[in-house]
Chains A and B, each alone.
Chain A
Amino acid sequence: MTVTEPAPSEAELERHFEHTIAKDQRIEPRDWVPEAYRKTMIRQIAQHAHSEIIGMQPEGNWITRAPSLRRKAILLAKVQDEAGHGLYLYSAAETLGGDRDDMTEKLISGRQKYSSIFNYPTLSFADVGVIGWLVDGAAICNQVPLCRSSYGPYARAMIRICKEESFHQRQGYELLMTMMSGTEQQREMVQDAVNRYWWPSLMMFGPPDDDSPNTAQSMAWKIKRHTNDELRQRFVDMTVPQAEALGVTLPDPDLAWNAERGHYDFGAIDWDELKQVISGGGPCNTERMERRRKAHEDGAWVREAAAAHARKQQQRKEVAA
């Protein structure tokens, strides 16, 4: 028989949790965690998963029109990867007690967000390349530190995701290089796409540090490892030389190397635009949500039928036995 130990007090549990974090060890699914940690983590992972799923739409928009069969295959595989990433993340959130149906419900009712970048339209095939280069590039900057997130299942999912994202970024850059060595019209398409996606990419890192209420707690819990502004600066520093190599101009007259800081200075970001897009006023918010809602609702009869068939099979098995 098992002798039951007296249950540890809340304070002891909390100390144990803080100790695990302090030792830089991972929190695993069955560990006791403060309710706020659980909630923050589920929300962060769910919103990340939503971003992968909604993020399929802007690029998916060009699959049927991709101008070569090779590009078509690459794009289809990429968008498929994003569905896979969404699935890895939803299952990581489920280890904390999140439920996929519930999370999907929160997405389509607007109670949980997804990355605001996907509320911008894709207007030419060059956007596919620019999304790979800038949007996936920014996502990698954001996500690479998450591979060391304190929550084990999330960190492990992120390792796999980051690896695939790096392919995504490379294909985007390669498409742009090919287009830049093509016709004049193609070069114009690329520059136009860069003009439209540069600032929204910088906004992907979130509000500036002095206006980011959750950052301190997330840093303390090692859910987040760097501040928004740190990551944004890192992205700018990495991207400027890539833009030069590509032969495109980043649409910011204030962009300049600052030898003293050892970083590039860049112009002011239009935070009002970010607020507007986040609160539902972006160019494509309605369309993105509507598509996701429709797919979910149109699929309901299919999911019900599969469940009904499984029940019938189970009954048949029992009758036979």
Chain B
Amino acid sequence: MAFDNAYEALADAHDDARWAFGTGFEDPLSGVDTTVPSGVDGDDLARYCLMLGDDALVLSHRLQEWCTRAPELEDEVAIANIGLDLLGQARLLLARAGKADGSGRGEDHYAYFRGEHEFRNVRLAEREHADFAQLVAVVLVLTTWRLAVFQRLRTSADPVLAAIAQKGVNELTYHRDYAAQWVVRLGDGTETSHATMVAAFDDVWPLVAELFETHDVERRLPGVAADPAEVRGEFDDVLAQVLSAATLETPQVRAKAGVAGGKGRDGRHTEAMGYLLAELQSVARAHPEATW
């Protein structure tokens, strides 16, 4: 790198890829066969990829909202890291959906030009975080659950899903640790933090049962999809460990009902979702012909 002329440094293109985590460096799909395996319904595979992709995209959005608002600069960096990892997972999964359904549509089509009812994320992912305790509660719950699902997906009959899961497992383990450590610190810390952490879990818990309900799409993809009902035991074990270290109890609150029999996986969301998408999609939709 040259130091007398700032602009010579710009021509110094090596290790360009270091930057923008999740934007294409170390392509986890390199060398992976991307054809839809025989006997697998491409539309169902696409629907499944959207479920998992939307969870990541929408939770990442909530983490992006924390930018410049974190309690300490070190956490600013950590939260952005988690947001970037999840965004990277979302991009791979949405792109896979466009391949699997045969439409050839790219990741941005799914992120920016679907309506609210077409999003398939669980409702907990779209939950707003009123404070840092809610952030870590949501991240702990969702990453513990997702990690258990991804661990199973590493042996999925779809090689692309398997590769995405392989990469995701390392990332999610890291996210779960970050959230678990904070839950313990806040639960055990001061009276104020303990009470705030209790309130956060009370707020989050009604949306937890939904995570473990097997969807028809998952039933139709044996060997490809992971059955979320199977991971409940693992999830409960991990949460019990963390809550106990944090001097917290498992919340005793009722699960939130769906709407007309549907929940997040069916495209029935909370009122917060419309605002989230209005923000996420605003620029892209104002300039549908544009390239960025």
Contact = CB atoms under 8 A, between A and B. Distances in A.
Nearest to B107: A69
Nearest to A52: B73
Nearest to A158: B3
B263 interface: no
A87 B74 contact: yes
Interface in B50-89: 57, 61, 64-65, 67-77, 80-81, 83-84, 87-88
Interface string A160-186: 001110110111000100110111011
Given A64-B280, A186-B287, A302 B72 contact: yes
Nearest to B188: A309
Interface stretch (A71-79, A198-206, A216-224): A71-79
B190 A80 contact: no
Nearest to A145: B3
A63 B19 contact: no
A70 to B, nearest CB: 6
The interface residues of chain A, by DSSP majority, are classed as helix
B71 A77 contact: no
Contacts of B180: none
Chain B interface bracket (under 10, 10 to 19, 20 to 34, 35 or more): 35 or more
Interface string B1-31: 1011111011010001011111110000000
B291 A178 contact: yes
A67 B71 contact: no
A183 B290 contact: yes
A240 to B, nearest CB: 12
Interface SS of B by simple majority = helix
Contact of B193 (A77, A140, A182, A302): A302
Contacts of B83: 76
B287 A302 contact: no
Contacts of A68: 108, 112, 284, 292
A84 B78 CA distance: 10
B283 A66 contact: yes
A73 B20 contact: yes
A16 to B, nearest CB: 27
Interface in A43-78: 53, 56-57, 60, 63-74, 76-78
B282 interface: yes
Contacts of A72: 64, 87
A238 to B, nearest CB: 5
Given A166-B9, A301-B190, A302-B71, A76 B196 contact: no
Nearest to A72: B87
Nearest to B65: A64
B279 interface: yes
A125 interface: yes
Interface stretch (A7-15, A105-113, A263-271, A291-299): A291-299
Contacts, number: 198
A308 interface: yes
A185 B74 CA distance: 39
A318 interface: no
A301 B24 CA distance: 38
Contacts of B80: 76-77, 79-80, 83
A96 interface: no
B232 interface: no
Interface-centre pick from B4, B20, B24, B69 (highest chain A CB count, 10 A): B20
A3 interface: no
Nearest to A79: B67
A184 B73 CA distance: 40
B3 A144 contact: yes
A304 interface: yes
A286 B232 CA distance: 48
A163 B185 contact: no
B283 A84 contact: no
B76 A305 contact: no
Nearest to B69: A295
A141 interface: yes
B190 A305 contact: yes
B70 A295 contact: yes
A137 interface: yes
A63 B67 contact: yes
A299 B81 CA distance: 19
Given A69-B87, A166-B12, A302-B132, A183 B77 contact: no
A73 B279 contact: no
Contacts of B184: 309
Given A78-B20, A179-B292, A185-B290, 14 more contacts: A67-B292, A68-B108, A72-B87, A73-B21, A73-B22, A73-B23, A73-B87, A76-B80, A140-B7, A295-B69, A298-B69, A299-B75, A308-B193, A309-B184
21 contacts: A56-B67, A63-B64, A66-B292, A67-B287, A67-B290, A70-B24, A71-B292, A73-B23, A74-B19, A74-B23, A79-B68, A80-B81, A144-B3, A144-B9, A169-B10, A182-B290, A299-B70, A305-B186, A306-B185, A307-B189, A308-B193
Interface of A: 53, 56-57, 60, 63-74, 76-81, 83-84, 86-87, 90, 125, 137, 140-141, 144-145, 147-148, 162-164, 166-167, 169-171, 175, 178-179, 181-183, 185-186, 234, 238, 291-292, 294-295, 298-309, 312
Interface of B: 1, 3-7, 9-10, 12, 16, 18-24, 57, 61, 64-65, 67-77, 80-81, 83-84, 87-88, 90-91, 94, 107-108, 111-112, 131-132, 184-186, 188-190, 192-193, 196, 279-280, 282-284, 287, 289-292
5 closest Cβ pairs, A-B complex: A299-B71, A305-B189, A305-B193, A80-B80, A302-B71
